[in-house]
Structure 1
């Protein structure tokens, strides 16, 4: 699903000269009403609450309390196959030059010992929304503009909506199981952790999700954590949705980020990267998951259609002219000219007969998009499915 970035929409309107009324200043008292499109205020001397109605011109209002906020008016509506209408939220850190009082963000991941969090939501029926905990990271200590990495923790979703990209794995983090999605919205990469059922409240360490994202190769310990946000992305309705309470600290110190979380599915081979074993019978499904004017993301699904187990695989094909891979996941991808080589990683090298795996990548694009025409796996030509 292609979705514009919340902050980009805000920046675009500001650049166009729109007058945006923002409530700033000291701590908000209970029952502070915000209806301005990007209106915000502070609470508890520590957090910023923002209306952030970026995807619609229809009115949205929030009621800010001493511990959170609730949506009191939501006139906007958006198709479920498109972008949400807003992201009313509470945050710590810096979001487009708006920094929470006394924040120590941005700070490098390697300098964070822990980031204890606690959130309590109120959900309503009849609305189409996700309840998302957002974590923003960048290679530089940015206090404005678009960050390169967004981690979304979906504690609830209602209606026929889905995260950006496609599901790539599952993970057990903070004592819970999550479906992991990966993709790009055209301006930044996104990894989403989706709960299988609604979670009304949760206490956890944000660093556990950051560590899992790092273990997937999406960031390094030298990247900067810039902000942590919690709120809702409504598509339709939403009156009554509320963040009852929010607590987030970022503790710097010598304790390294947790490393126990690892990408799943777990390794099925004793060798980190087993050598390819002979020719393979295979089918390939190539799916462009998102295409924009100067780039795209794609997913490649490999199925073993033969009668023998594949122990280690290498896929080769040629990218059309004007396409250059910039990052990849679930495979080690290299490119020489137009020739692309993708090799399995530790946990997806063994494919029993009928089994499938997938990998994906982001690439720059010059000219019109087109897909590769033929694929080989361990030297054998695959059928396209």
Structure 2
């Protein structure tokens, strides 16, 4: 049986009770909370998924210990609680001096860091996780609707994150399973393949990876950074020993990565091109976090995407247009490398006299998959079309499982479909078809859109 975990505080819907700032109490109230370190952080009991007793002993220096947890919930549903410490704003309860909300595309975002130490009991069923929230607006109250990034340092028992595993990543000194689901907002979870009791990382390390997979956006706002535990059964003895959040987070890394190699372009069509480049290296200690892809049609380069690998496919381009691209690297502390040398790319003209179009029909769709058939390719030009290419973005978490009538490949979140020998030549106004089948996460109702033909 696949175990599904709901978001840690998604169903909270209740205000927080703040105990006196000078106290370091034992919190047993369902929604009990208190400030620590003169309001810099808030510790919350947050028994949001059950009515069983739970108490946390708060350390005014910046941590807490779960002293009582009478939970005994089945693991095929939500956890009982999320006792946690956080910086930022959570349901209108905001800490002092966090600088949040902060837009993920702002100049200071790359310098935001957090660290934690944790202690685990050898009993119960639980996970130990960061819960980092993003919203399309600078929200300070209510439910965030952008992305929820969870970072699981450890877990015990037969539990797993929301959705399904979509890949792996090497980030912040560890290897992580990457999970994705949507419960009204994107839940992107990173589960460490070997448990750890401490972590020190730049927030953008994980957020950049989520962006590169299509699950988050630079325009969204970071609203809170939370860290704690999700217990299903038991949980007494779980403890946060220390927690920090802020600009720099104590890091001394001020060394930028080396300059990436000049990008090279391949597979250029009327609407897309794929770039590859030589890797950067980072010697500052915070680790290479990813790459920014910059594009220009005149003299000014602007960022058009990010990647955690040394390739990127840029789509939605204009036929018969010249573009220039550069790449720069980012490390975990937010340092940026110099920009690479530029490559010049000219898109194809789209097949003379008007090019071609691609129109898709959804033949069948079910809970976790669909069939798109036919996709009709039509020559809209006045001259014979000798070969065609259709591109479209694949929604996050979707996988092409079969195709017919064309050669289909997927790279960087973009599907590229090319004709077969028998259907590549189209007279003016002539058409041909192809089709494909894909899987998608349970509950996701998306199908691909934005087909471009060249």
TM-score by length of 1: 0.68
1:344 paired with 2:410, answer yes
| Pair 1:102–1:343, CA change in 2 (3 A) | same
Cα distance in structure 2, aligned partners of 1:220 and 1:208: 14
In 2, are the aligned partners of 1:165 and 1:182 still within 8 Å (CA)? yes
Cα distance in structure 2, aligned partners of 1:245 and 1:128: 22
| Residue aligning to 2:381 | none
Shift of 1:2: 4.6
1:259 to 290, 306, 324: 290
In 2, are the aligned partners of 1:154 and 1:193 still within 8 Å (CA)? yes
Residue 221 of structure 1 aligns to a residue in which SS?
Answer: coil
Cα distance in structure 2, aligned partners of 1:246 and 1:21: 20
Shift of 1:137: 0.3
Please show how residues 304-323 of structure 1 align to structure 2 within 5 Å.
316-317=372-373
Please show how residues 241-260 of structure 1 align to structure 2 within 5 Å.
241-250=238-247, 258-260=289-291
1:61 paired with 2:55, answer yes
In 1, are the aligned partners of 2:163 and 2:442 still within 8 Å (CA)? no
Gaps of 5+ in 1: 15-19, 274-285, 289-297, 301-314, 319-325, 334-341, 351-356, 366-371, 373-385
| Pair 1:240–1:327, CA change in 2 (3 A) | farther
Cα distance in structure 1, aligned partners of 2:158 and 2:27: 29
Cα distance in structure 2, aligned partners of 1:87 and 1:28: 21
1:100 paired with 2:95, answer yes
| Residue aligning to 2:30 | 37
| Pair 1:146–1:347, CA change in 2 (3 A) | closer
- Superposed CA deviations along residues 124-179 of structure 1, whole A, max 9, x for unmatched, are 11210000011100111111111121000000011000000000011111121111
| Residue aligning to 1:51 | 45
1:207 paired with 2:204, answer yes
| Residue aligning to 2:358 | none
2:85 to 59, 84, 90: 90
* Structure 1 vs Structure 2 CA RMSD: 3.5
1:129 paired with 2:126, answer yes
| Residue aligning to 1:110 | 105
1:237 paired with 2:234, answer yes
Cα distance in structure 2, aligned partners of 1:226 and 1:271: 30
1:154 to 109, 131, 152: 152
| Pair 1:299–1:169, CA change in 2 (3 A) | farther
Please show how residues 296-375 of structure 1 align to structure 2 within 5 Å.
298=368, 316-317=372-373, 328-330=395-397, 344-346=410-412, 360=441, 363=444
Residue 129 of structure 1 aligns to a residue in which SS?
Answer: strand
| Pair 1:163–1:212, CA change in 2 (3 A) | same
1:189 to 180, 186, 189: 186
In 2, are the aligned partners of 1:174 and 1:204 still within 8 Å (CA)? yes
Compare CA radii of gyration and give the structure with the larger one: 2
Cα distance in structure 1, aligned partners of 2:128 and 2:122: 13
Cα distance in structure 2, aligned partners of 1:349 and 1:157: 36
In 1, are the aligned partners of 2:18 and 2:33 still within 8 Å (CA)? yes
- The structure with higher relative contact order (CA 8 Å, sep 6+) is 1
| Residue aligning to 1:380 | none
| Pair 1:81–1:90, CA change in 2 (3 A) | same
Cα distance in structure 1, aligned partners of 2:114 and 2:175: 18
